[in-house]
């Protein structure tokens, strides 16, 4: 009796530059990240590939991650979140990590510790311990975005705690002044006068999967804000059926445990694109959202508006 032929999966890497990225002017950075991830697959696994891919995006400066991270609303704080996960049990994340060019590499090293998530001062000291703490200046793009946001917040109506309405109505701008928790006053920050996440998913020749995300946070946001990117099952998930990475407004993504929910649909047999489109539909109309995903036989990109992304490797569909 003839034995069935076992076909090895085609190695592949998918990257994105964030739900607000420009597919016309920023796709080349995503392509460079995907190629770096594919090169890593030649001698390593899917986890190494997504770290390599996201590291390229963090170093680029055009995306809200690593060197291109947004300024905090005080006009000086740069705080990043990142995470990695693979289908063989590796999981690591950092949140509110200051002054690190490659937070995804720190998250990867967290995956080698007894922990899965390290935050704030602990994350900073961990990065210093492993030699990944490198200060850097904000990009001009981040400075310009900060100035625009300060002006928008300045125009937002003041609200008292007793008459405050749902902050979704003004993107939380009035709440920033009302709940200001940075050192120094709002006026000092004003006088110095987005959101997005980069990500990658990969499949290696042994059929293992991995996901990685990295973000410079959201604007406007209070000091210490954490959303979906470092939270397992929210902004990312990887398992034996595939890997998912999300980008967009993190508060909406984490409410739905979006990455895990989509993963469970594909694990149950739903086609990847159908599961991702169904996931997008969970979020209110008009909420920015983008997804990349990969399974043994599929790779897909689904977003409410065009975003920079790239695929490198075997057949995409």
Q: Cβ-count burial of 190 within 10 angstroms (0-12 exposed, 13-18 middle, 19+ buried)?
A: middle
Banded model confidence at residue 45, pLDDT cuts 50, 70, 90: very high
In the predicted model, is pLDDT for residue 256 greater than 70? yes
CA distance 111 to 51: 12
Q: What is the structure's pLDDT at 158?
A: 63
Closest-CA residue to 49 (of 87, 23, 78, 79): 87
Banded model confidence at residue 50, pLDDT cuts 50, 70, 90: very high
Q: What is the structure's pLDDT at 219?
A: 72
pTM confidence score: 0.85
Q: What is the structure's pLDDT at 177?
A: 60
126: number of Cβ within 10 Å: 21
Banded model confidence at residue 171, pLDDT cuts 50, 70, 90: low
Q: What is the structure's pLDDT at 170?
A: 47
Over range 266-290, report the average pLDDT: 96
> Catalytic pick from 15, 77, 197, 215?
197
Q: What is the structure's pLDDT at 22?
A: 94
In the predicted model, is pLDDT for residue 19 greater than 50? yes
Chain centre distance of CA 275: 20
Q: Is the dihedral of CA 77, 132, 94, 288 positive or negative?
A: positive
Summarised one tens digit per residue, pLDDT across range 123-157 is 999 999 999 988 777 777 877 776 776 666 666 66
Over range 191-211, report the average pLDDT: 83
Mean pLDDT, the chain, rounded, equals 87
Q: Edge-to-edge strands of the sheet including 209-215?
A: 117-119, 91-98, 79-86, 209-215, 198-203, 12-16, 309-313
Task: List the structure tokens of 145.
Answer: 């975005």
CA distance 207 to 176: 46
Over range 267-296, report the average pLDDT: 96
Banded model confidence at residue 218, pLDDT cuts 50, 70, 90: confident
The verdict on whether 197 is a catalytic residue reads: yes
Over range 34-46, report the average pLDDT: 96
Give the H or E element holding residue 82.
strand 79-86
């Amino acid at each position: 009796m003839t034995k069935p032929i076992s076909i090895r999966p085609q190695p592949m890497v998918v990257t994105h530059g964030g739900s607000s990225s420009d597919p016309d002017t920023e796709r080349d950075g995503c392509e460079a990240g995907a190629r770096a991830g594919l090169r890593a697959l030649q001698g390593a696994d899917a986890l190494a590939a997504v770290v390599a891919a996201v590291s390229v995006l963090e170093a680029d400066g055009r995306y809200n991650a690593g060197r291109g991270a947004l300024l905090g609303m005080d006009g000086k704080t740069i705080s990043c979140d990142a995470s990695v996960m693979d289908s063989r049990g590796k999981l690591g994340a950092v949140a509110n990590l200051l002054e690190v060019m490659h937070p995804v590499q720190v998250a990867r090293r967290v995956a080698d510790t007894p922990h899965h998530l390290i935050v704030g001062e602990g994350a900073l000291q961990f990065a210093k311990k492993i030699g990944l703490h490198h200060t850097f200046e904000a990009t001009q793009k981040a400075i310009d975005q900060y100035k625009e946001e300060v002006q928008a917040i300045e125009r937002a109506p003041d609200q008292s705690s007793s008459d405050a309405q749902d902050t979704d109505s003004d993107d939380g701008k009035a709440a920033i002044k009302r709940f200001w928790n940075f050192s120094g006053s709002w006026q000092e920050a004003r006088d110095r006068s987005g959101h997005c996440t980069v990500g990658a998913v990969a499949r290696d020749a042994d059929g293992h999967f991995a996901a990685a995300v990295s973000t410079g946070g959201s604007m406007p946001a209070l000091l210490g804000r954490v959303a979906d990117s470092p939270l397992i099952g929210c902004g990312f998930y990887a398992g034996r059926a595939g890997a998912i990475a999300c980008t967009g407004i993190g508060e909406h993504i984490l409410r739905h445990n979006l990455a895990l929910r989509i993963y469970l649909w594909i694990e149950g047999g739903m086609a990847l694109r159908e599961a991702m489109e169904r996931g997008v539909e969970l979020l209110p109309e008009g909420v920015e959202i983008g997804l990349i995903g990969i399974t043994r036989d599929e790779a897909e990109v689904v977003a409410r508006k065009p975003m920079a992304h790239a695929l490198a490797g075997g057949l995409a569909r």
